Amino acid sequence: MAAAQEQFQTAVNASAGHLQKDLDYTGDQVNKLVLRLATEIVSRELERYHMGLTRLHDQATAEMRAISQEISQHKEELKAQLDQEIKAEKLNLIKQIDGKLADAVASFLLETLGHNADLGSQAPYLITTLEEHKADFKREVADDAAAAK
């Protein structure tokens, strides 16, 4: 009986040893499988993340391109508007200058005719008088331009 019990104990110990080896092997296999699955899952998630980033980058680039085009278009519109305003201001100044010149010439002619002098012989006098009043004329045009603004 003691021999059978010892033989049984040896068989149980041998079976326990085999079972321990099988459990160690199975544990290693499970660990490798879990590691492989985790690596695959992380790789897929990283790939999705990269694809999402690429999509967002492309979208941001397209939006920046559209914004840049809108800015360029708005800039051109503002430039055209400014050019029109400058042309209108130039025309306004030209009209003011024409009016002031007409007034100045009329004033000088009246002054000259008041002296009963010949206009042909009065050319140097007219030029001298116009030169004398040039600064006043410029100041009036500048004042009118400033008042128009």
Confidence class of residue 52 from pLDDT cuts 50, 70 and 90? very high
Note the pLDDT of residue 102. 75
Q: How far apart are CA 87 and CA 8, in angstroms?
A: 116
Q: How far apart are CA 55 and CA 51, in angstroms?
A: 6
Structure confidence by residue, pLDDT tens digits, 113-128: 665 555 566 667 767 7
Burial of 72 (0-12, 13-18, 19+ CB in 10 A): exposed
